[in-house]
Amino acid sequence: MRIIRFWCIAAGLTVAAMAAGPASSAAVVPSSPVAAKNVIIAQWASSAKATSQYSAPLWSARQATRRPNTEGCGDRPTAWASKSQTGIDTLTVGFEIAVVPKLVKVYQTYNPGQVTKVQVVDVNGKATDVYAATPVAPAPPITCPVVLEIPITGVTAKVKTVRITVDQSRLGIYQNEIDAVQLVGKGTAR
């Protein structure tokens, strides 16, 4: 098996594909108008909206797009925070390329452990629950970001949206701030 890796400049994505061949061989495929089908695509959220946000542009839903950029743990304006410190809110993030989802990663940088539900939404608008939990504060010491990794099985439709619910009403530790969301799945890269 050889691994083919290339950089998709337009979408800002790293794409890796497995192809038949000797284990020791590797090839670099330049960006081209030819689409690579059925490859594993790891992409960062490119759009975001939320039921509330602490302010804008700092602490806004937009802060949860692109690669993680929040240093360490703490209340930082480079991550999304809801308006209420003790409410239940939802962050909905969108991605450039529709994929059959295999993994979602949620990068938390302040008061992690309050994500209670994650859904993937397919291109037809159907939401599927892929994670449910009761809020639990992680035991110290905490090193940020705290990455919630959610493996996904059984979803065969292509997805471009992930919906994350945080319940900050139970622990009394204020907002759960989210810096970035990554979606990994099989799709077609251009």
Same domain membership, residue 92 and residue 160: yes
**Is 176 found in the same domain as 158?**
yes
The number of folded domains in the chain is 2
Same domain, 137 and 148: yes
Contacts 24+ apart (CB under 8 A), 123-132: 123/98, 123/157, 123/158, 123/159, 123/160, 124/157, 126/157, 127/163, 128/155, 130/101, 130/104, 130/155, 131/104
**C-alpha to C-alpha distance for 51 and 147, rounded to whole angstroms:** 22
Q: What is the mean pLDDT of residues 159-175?
A: 96
Same domain for 81 and 114? yes
Tell me the percentage of the chain whose pLDDT exceeds 90: 76
Mean confidence (pLDDT) of the chain: 86
What's residue 35's pLDDT? 75
pLDDT of residue 12 exceeding 60: no
- 129: CATH: 2.60.120.260
Does residue 35 share a domain with residue 97?
A: no
State residue 34's pLDDT score.
66
Q: Are residues 172 and 127 in the same domain?
A: yes
Amino acid 37: pLDDT: 87
Domain shared by 26 and 87, yes or no: no
**Higher per-residue confidence, 77 vs 7:** 77
Pair 35, 67 in one domain = no
Interatomic CA distance for residues 88 and 42, integer angstroms: 28
Contact predicate 59/78, CB 8 Å:
no
Note the pLDDT tens digit of each residue in 51-90: 999 999 999 999 999 999 999 999 999 999 999 999 999 9
Same domain, 62 and 30: no
pLDDT, tens digit, for every residue of 21-40?
333 222 233 444 567 888 99
Same domain, 29 and 59: no
Are residue 30 and residue 67 in the same domain, yes or no?
no
Collapsing DSSP to helix, strand or coil, 67 comes out as: coil
Predicted structure pTM score: 0.82
pLDDT at residue 14 above 50?
Answer: no
Domain membership of residue 47 as a residue range: 43-189
**9 and 65 housed in the same domain:** no
What SS3 class is residue 56?
Answer: coil
Measure the CA–CA gap between 114 and 129, rounded to whole angstroms: 16
Q: Could you tell me which of 153, 148, 174, 156 has the C-alpha nearest to residue 54?
A: 174
